[in-house]
């Protein structure tokens, strides 16, 4: 089977994988890389194999796409916002943030608000549990209740 026939028969696998992983930003680039891999895999596939060509291509393309995600993730660099950058922000941003927290404080219980405060600062669940002197299951309960109230607040516009 030549590649044109393989392409016509199996190119939908590529679209399916890109849709499954919600690829929108670099769709064409990922499509091209997967298409090249499809060609390479079509050369490697042996018709006498116990696995169907569709299963072979799907599995290999899926793992190749995951490898591409990992490779791209390694190349991404993040830099934390330090105090020097924060000091250049306008005061109104800090004021708006404080007003936002005060608005939220009105409809959250003190324990839920404390959880939110620690969560925004970046603490893990077990760390928050230690600081608040409660179990992790209680932290999960605070989280669930706080998130429900926040969702209601934003969807209903209270």
* Structural domains counted in the chain: 2
pTM higher than 0.75: no
pLDDT at 152 over 70: yes
Choose among 1, 29, 25, 4: nearest CA to 14.
29
Cα three-residue angle 98-101-103, rounded to 5 degrees: 110
DSSP string, 93-146: HHHHHHHHHHHHHHHS-HHHHHHHHHHHTT--HHHHHHHHTS-HHHHHHHHHHH
Domain boundary among 52, 78, 104: 78
In a domain, 138, yes or no: yes
| Run of H or E residues at 141 | helix 136-156
Same domain, 113 and 57: no
In a domain, 83, yes or no: no
Same domain, 74 and 12: yes
DSSP string, 28-43: HHHHHHHHHHHHHHHH
- Domain extent, residue 126, equals 93-157
Say which residue, 144 or 25, is predicted with more confidence. 144
Cα three-residue angle 2-3-7, rounded to 5 degrees: 130
Backbone angles phi, psi at 50, to 5 degrees: -75, -10
Same domain, 66 and 128: no
Looking at residue 88, its pLDDT comes to 53
Domain boundary among 54, 78, 102: 78
Summarised one tens digit per residue, pLDDT across range 85-129 is: 555 555 555 566 677 777 788 888 999 989 988 888 888 889 999
- What CATH number is associated with residue 136? 1.10.10
CB proximity list for 7: less than 8 A, separation 6 or greater? 35, 38
Looking at residue 64, its pLDDT comes to 92
In a domain, 104, yes or no: yes
In a domain, 87, yes or no: no
Summarised one tens digit per residue, pLDDT across range 39-91 is: 999 898 888 888 898 998 999 999 999 898 888 764 444 455 555 555 555 55
């Amino acid at each position: 089977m030549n590649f044109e026939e393989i392409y016509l028969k199996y190119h939908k696998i590529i679209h399916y994988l890109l849709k499954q992983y919600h690829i929108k930003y670099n769709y064409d680039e990922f499509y091209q890389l997967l298409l090249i891999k499809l060609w390479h895999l079509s050369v490697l596939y042996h018709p006498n194999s116990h696995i169907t060509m569709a299963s072979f291509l799907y599995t290999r393309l899926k793992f190749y796409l995951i490898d591409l995600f990992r490779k791209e993730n390694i190349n991404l660099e993040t830099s934390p916002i330090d105090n020097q950058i924060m000091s250049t922000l306008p005061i109104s941003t800090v004021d708006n943030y404080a007003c936002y927290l005060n608005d939220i404080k009105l409809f959250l219980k003190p324990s839920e608000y404390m959880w939110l405060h620690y969560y925004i600062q970046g603490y893990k669940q077990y760390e928050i549990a230690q600081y608040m002197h409660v179990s992790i299951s209680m932290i999960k309960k605070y989280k669930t209740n706080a998130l429900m109230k926040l969702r209601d607040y934003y969807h209903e516009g209270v």
